[in-house]
Amino acid sequence: MTDATEADLTGGTPRPRPDGEVEKIGDRKLKPATMMMGHGYDPMLSEGALKPPIFLTSTFVFPNAAAGKRHFEGVTGKRPGGAEGLVYSRFNGPNQEILEDRLAVWEEAEDALAFSSGMSAIATLFLSMVKPGDTIVHSGPLYAATETLISRILGRFGVNWLDFPAGATREEIDAVLTKAATGNVALIYLESPANPTNALVDVEAVAASRDAIFTGENKPPIAIDNTFLGPLWAQPLKQGADIVVYSLTKYAGGHSDLVAGGVLGTKAHINTIRLMRNTIGTICDPNTAWMLLRSLETLELRMSRAGENAAKVCEFLASHPKVEKVGYLGFLERGEDKRQADIYRRHCTGAGSTFSLYLKGGEKEAFAFLDALKIAKLAVSLGGTETLASHPAGMTHLSVAEERKQALGITDNLVRISIGVEDADDLIADFENALKAV
């Protein structure tokens, strides 16, 4: 919730931090899983309610006119940092502010913002950072809607783009950034692991390349979509990223019952993005924020169980005669791709629960497998309590040009699987039965 410890000198009274906020016990700093149970919320401000109520209101009453002016100075950007109190639900609200506090905890980010979807978070980020004539440098592949937003929509307004493959070396990254530096690079945008191939981006190499090629005010921020592994298995701010983006629909929400997005990072960058969010109204609603607060309490438990399940399922699939390859991060140490294994060791604390399954054959075999599943659901998205399976080439990445799909490894025999929290042996039985149909 909004930071404030003293009365506003202009006469307003910002809401205080929750009384008794606990972040340490003695010298021990509390872990995020513990802080999800109460961080940013004071029950005494809500009739003693253990959990935050849902604040279903469009507007908030100011204590006096001076406070109203002060809050709008923050909302309009005349003073950085946003409003120091509650103003209007397009700008802020109690549920959203508590949620943003807790999102920031996981990656020790300075600040965070919540959005109505992952794509509204990405779109707001782009709109706040770029102008006609600027260049976005990005890794590839990206989520198809993100690629569409960059090339087809922002491209119509004179925004240029250059990309490098997700697994690019420092030399390859240098080459692309050097070429891009002939113009104004407004943003470096990454997605790791790449969707849907699971290829990792070397964030440290990107940061080192950026710092070597750009200086001063010309240095573009590095933003990264951390949906697949974050916040439990990857924290890119520690590798040099400035901004982290989430589809909170996925693991953070975790129950396939909401759509939301998040952006975390430095206060300076978040202030810039907040002004755009205030203008175009892409904040998430109070009910969704409340549901996310519920979900964050079990995030570590859910992700841990799903990760354990994925490890067991992938061991089974990797040895099946109808499987060509399993793109699972946990297998990198066993493979020939030493580059990807090195990135995994430096960047990740776990292999996640979403992976790419390459069947022997093509679309016919992939569809036969998908149609024969009984427990796993044939649906897009990932990170829910249930196991999901989909066909990227024919579904989420259908709009991507055919030659680009081939270049990025999004082939007709690729099935993307997100493992849930069911019994692992039951899932193996389901996959074994479905493979008989191939």
Give pLDDT tens digits for 405-438: 887 788 999 999 999 999 999 999 999 999 999 9
Per-residue tokens: 246: 């989430």
For Cα atoms 283, 20, 72, give the angle at the middle one, nearest 5 degrees: 35
- Encoded tokens for 173: 């990254």
Amino acid letter, residue 330: G
> Which residues are bridge partners to 373 per DSSP?
none
The pLDDT value recorded for residue 406 is: 81
What pLDDT, on the 0 to 100 scale, is given for residue 23?
86
| Predicted local distance difference test score (pLDDT) of residue 6 | 34
Contacts of 330 (CB under 8 A, 6+ apart): 310, 311, 314, 351
Among left, alpha and beta (phi > 0; psi -120 to 50; other), residue 266 is: beta
Question: Can you list the pairs that 168-176 forms with residues at least 24 positions away whose Cβ atoms lie under 8 Å?
Answer: 168/139, 168/201, 168/202, 168/205, 169/202, 169/205, 169/339, 170/202, 170/205, 170/208, 170/209, 173/202, 173/205, 173/206, 173/209, 174/209, 174/212, 174/213, 176/137
Cβ neighbours of residue 102 closer than 8 Å, sequence gap 6 or more: 35, 36, 39, 40, 293, 296
- Calculate helix-pair angle for 424-435, 363-372, nearest 10 degrees: 130
Report the DSSP beta bridge partners of residue 110. Answer: none
State the span(s) of the chain assigned CATH 3.40.640.10.
Answer: 114-281
- The topology under which CATH files domain 299-435 is Aspartate Aminotransferase, domain 1 (3.90.1150)
Q: Rounded to whole angstroms, how far apart are CA atoms 113 and 128?
A: 13
The proportion of the chain whose per-residue pLDDT surpasses 70, expressed as a percent, equals 95
Sheet holding 243-247, edge to edge: 111-115, 261-265, 243-247, 222-225, 185-191, 135-140, 160-165
Helices (H) and strands (E) in the chain, counts: 14, 14
At 40-55, the pLDDT tens digits run: 999 999 999 999 999 9
**CB neighbours of residue 166 within 10 Å:** 26
Question: Is pLDDT above 80 for 17?
Answer: no
Which residues of the chain does CATH 3.90.1150.10 include? 299-435
Separation CA 195–CA 201 (nearest Å)? 12
CB of 382 closer than 8 Å to CB of 264? no
Whether the per-residue pLDDT at 4 is higher than 50: the answer is no
* Residue 5's pLDDT band (cuts 50, 70, 90): very low
From the options 3.40.640.10, 3.20.20.70, 3.40.50.150, 3.30.499.10, give the CATH code of 114-281.
Answer: 3.40.640.10
Using the predicted structure, report yes or no on whether residue 391 has a pLDDT greater than 60: yes
Give the pLDDT score at 19. 56
pLDDT above 70: residue 216: yes
